[in-house]
Amino acid sequence: MGALRKLLAWLSVPVICLFALAFYLARPFNPDNNRLLGAAVARIGRALLGMDRPLEGREHMPTDRPTVVIANHQHNDDLFVMGDLLPPRTVTVGKSSLVWVPFFGQVFWLGGNVILNRARSHKAIAVMQATSEAISRDHKSLWVFPEGTRSRGRGLQKFKKGAFHAAIAAGAPITMVCARQYQDRTLGWTGRREPVAIRILPPIETAGLTTDDIPELMSRCRQQMAEAIAAL
């Protein structure tokens, strides 16, 4: 049953994206499209997986000003775990290969999301710094997985600098979303997925910081997230 649930959850993604494509074409590059799509994909996906998602600290997610959200990245199923937590007018960061995924890739591009070629790290940082202009000018928020790749539930990995460059350049707070370490495990004969608890930490302000402060800021954020994940 667990494998069937997972298959249905992932089959729902292109179907939802196909219906969403018309909506995206009607208002292309409107960043609030991503919040609505993320909510639909996550809630339908969790329902099909039979997954509970306890949430703490929802009040810490800014909704009245732009923020740079960083979250730990474990599996592709993070889409179902966190997809409905995007604040208003949020763009996300993804690999250039995502653009070629049927329906999902097209709505990802039409959502105005940041597409990076991770093989070119210097160019990626430049793109992230340019994104900071959109945060300030267009009142957008940014969602980033700072580890850059999936940890597969094996602990928090080293952070990349891009999100922190963008936050400092825009003077936007950093909001940390922490998911409990989880694996692809099911409960009982119904195949329901194990619960994945989430904790959103209070934002860290970046106003007045410079690029010289990035190493200390990265270390502080990573420590706070590691402690919260361990507590979950």
pLDDT at 148: 82
Q: Name the H helices within the chain.
A: 2-26, 32-49, 78-82, 104-110, 121-137, 162-170, 214-231
pLDDT tens-digit series, residues 123-164? 666 666 667 777 878 889 999 999 988 888 788 999 998 899
Q: Is the pLDDT of residue 52 over 90?
A: yes
pLDDT at 179: 97
pLDDT band at 91 (very low <50, low <70, confident <90, very high): very high
The whole-number average pLDDT for the span 70-80 is 96
List, in order of start, the domains of the chain with CATH numbers.
Answer: 2-231 (3.40.1130)
> Between the ranges 133-142, 179-188, 218-227, where is the mean pLDDT highest?
218-227
pLDDT band at 102 (very low <50, low <70, confident <90, very high): confident
Spatial separation of the C-alpha atoms in residues 92 and 112, rounded to whole Å: 8
Spatial separation of the C-alpha atoms in residues 130 and 133, rounded to whole Å: 6
Q: What radius of gyration, in Å, describes the C-alpha atoms of the chain?
A: 17
> What average pLDDT does the chain have?
90
Q: Is the pLDDT of residue 95 over 90?
A: no
